[in-house]
Amino acid sequence: MVTLTSVAESLSERLGFAPDSPLFTRAVTHSSYAGEHGEESNERLEFLGDAVVNLAIANAILRDYPELNEGSGSLARSRVVNEQSLAAVAHDLGLPDVVRLGKGEMKSGGSQRPSLLADALEAVLGALYLERGPDVAIRTAQELLAPLLAEAAASPLASDAKSQLRQWAEAQGFGAPHYEVTSSGPDHDPLFFVRVTVDHAVVGEATGRSKKAAEIAAALAAWEGRRNA
């Protein structure tokens, strides 16, 4: 049996895991540690946790933010379910002090790497899904991400990203942004890919389940990276 540190035990119990939960231990086990010690890494749990987080935030948007339509709701979700946001939540939880890393990863500062922390948070939520069930996992994800979702839903860009981008581009003398839309998948469930260009340069790309949602997400990506345009 793997003995967790007191910090890890405290976090495990706070999130609702059973004492000495093997699922929690696996969730905080990076592939670098797993390879050195012959254990299973958190990669499969991260795969499950990614779906948990997306479902949790989509459900919260429909339940708590009726003013958001499909496009602005998709945009708000994308501003919450991303590496930077998830890493920030993982950091606040104390995951940098809990995640199990191999020697090389530890020396290189892996415990502070956003991608590693975001994956660890998703793995923890995936583990919680398996141990406590979907209701607990979804509720926990919603509670952890509620402040970020509230901020994203309140942002003017959540409903006006295309207008903001157009105004900026025209003020710079670039003219209006151009949106190139392609789609794939079956007619009943298409996936739209949008590339937005400003002054003939690609400044944002995104996908969405509707053309509008994809265009808004691409516009936000372009707006947030506009200084490089």
What structural domains and CATH numbers belong to the chain?
Answer: 6-154 (1.10.1520.10), 157-228 (3.30.160.20)
> For the segment 42-84, what is each residue's pLDDT rounded down to a tens digit?
999 999 999 999 999 999 999 999 888 877 788 788 888 888 8
CB 122 within 8 A of CB 26: no
- Write down the pLDDT at residue 87: 93
CA-angle at 147, arms to 143 and 152, nearest 5°:
125
Average pLDDT over residues 191-213: 89
CB 85 within 8 A of CB 115: no
Joined together, the tokens standing for residue 74 give: 């998709």
Q: Could you list the active site residues?
A: 50, 122
> For the segment 124-160, what is each residue's pLDDT rounded down to a tens digit?
999 999 999 999 999 999 999 999 999 888 775 555 6
